[in-house]
Amino acid sequence: MSQFSRRQFLHAAGITLLGSTLDPKSFFNRPSSAEAPAYGRTLYPTTVYGAPAIGSPAVRQLWPESIHPIRSYNQGWYLLNSGYVPREAIQPMTLYPVEAPVTDFPCWLEVASPVAVVRKWCAPDAPLVTRIGHGGVAQVVDVLEFDNQHWYAIQSTDHSLLGWTQTTHWQRALINQRYGGIVQVEVDQQKQRLQMYENGVQLLTAPFSSGRELPQGIFALKGRIPAGIAYDVPSQPRALAGAPWQLQIADIGLLSGVYWHNAFGVPVPGPEIQTSTLVARWLYQYVPDNALVSIF
């Protein structure tokens, strides 16, 4: 595993975390070069504007799940090569090389492409079960070859078969836990910002979205899982599986990464505390089981 230099880290974090800050000593599982452009995937049909303002001249339309280089971010707008798009329309992602299918099961895998389609059986025209977006995580229990393509068997949360998905969309979900000292997580509902402290030193601040109003107080972590239950979100036609890097908070619910929106900082239906998949992974590997979560 490589480690970001401070310059590399700030380059990635400034684009990917939308104003979030992380400890410069942080590392990611597969860091890309600071010279390589960041990329984003469109979440829905998206208009590119000539200036960072709704109502400015439209330049072009982008298809959902299309990939585009991100040049910069400022005041709620991403600058692409062709113009500006609102933050909510595109989610930052990292491009990974295609990996060979894994063969040691069961194991946790992460979506490396813009989206991984899960179908009822191993065929591109089989009925659709669900779609798991970039950064989503699922447990795989088998692999089959059909018509010169490899397919993973995805396990549902009740340990039944959820469906089959092409292996080219997935990579192994690596996590390196690096617990430190006394850790406290603070959740500010009014500002919709989450902060993490270690031994009194702030290491992270990031926007989050809440699925409901949360009770105030100090709560303990009581478990973690790389990915969990599917969510029924009003704006989505199917239950959303593979919400990654979940920390379970006693009497509250889940702190979870989500891949289906990029509107962090305002309430959004779904898990109780939602962050980007990158922030969720970082918390998952850094926050120990004895950490306390303050909600106010």
Task: Mention every residue, 6+ apart, whose C-beta is less than 8 A from residue 103.
Answer: 143
Q: Looking at the DSSP assignment, which residues form a beta bridge with residue 249?
A: 221, 253
Domains of the chain (ranges; CATH) run 6-93 (2.30.30.40), 107-172 (2.30.30.40), 183-295 (2.40.440.10)
| pLDDT lower than 50: segments of the chain | 1-36
Q: What is the pTM of this model?
A: 0.86
Q: pLDDT at position 239, please?
A: 67
Q: pLDDT at position 5, please?
A: 34
Q: pLDDT at position 184, please?
A: 92
Q: pLDDT at position 238, please?
A: 65
Task: Mention every residue, 6+ apart, whose C-beta is less than 8 A from residue 166.
Answer: 116, 117, 149, 150, 151, 152
Beta strands 77-80; 149-155: pairing state = unpaired
Q: Looking at the DSSP assignment, which residues form a beta bridge with residue 253?
A: 249
How many Cβ atoms are within 10 Å of 269's Cβ, its own excluded? 16
Q: pLDDT at position 235, please?
A: 66
* Longest pairwise C-alpha distance within the chain: 56
Q: pLDDT at position 240, please?
A: 80
Up-side HSE of residue 165: CA atoms within 13 Å toward CB? 31
Q: What letter does residue 235 receive in the DSSP assignment?
A: T
Residue-wise pLDDT tens digits, 180-206:
788 899 999 999 999 999 999 998 999
CB 60 within 8 A of CB 48: yes
First to last CA, the chain: 37
Q: Looking at the DSSP assignment, which residues form a beta bridge with residue 133?
A: 115
